[in-house]
Amino acid sequence: MPPGAVFAIALAALTIAGIPVLVWLRAQKRIRHLEMTLLAQATDVDRYEELRAMLQQLTAQTEQLADTQAQLARRLGDGVDQLRGPRIEPARPVTPH
């Protein structure tokens, strides 16, 4: 067999063997990319759920604070009325002149 034919056969064999290797490498790269995309999406969903839970807690605490503030305002109003004593109405209306 002439040396050129051996070289051509070897080159053809390397080319044929190289195609599956290139396909495999590209597939691995694509798989890594898809895994990272799925991981990022899962992380975004987890963050969304965490933020949603925090917002619900904040809403509950705000409602509790508003209720406590209303109770405090009522108690302060009752305390001021007790300090003033009974309200005395004037015998006749007071005119501003």
Q: Averaged in consecutive runs of 10 residues, what is the pLDDT profile of the chain (97 residues)?
A: 81 84 91 88 82 95 95 83 66 70
- Global pTM reads 0.43
pLDDT of residue 21: 85
Task: Choose among 61, 37, 57, 34: nearest CA to 45.
Answer: 37
**DSSP alpha helices (H): ranges in 1-97?**
3-84
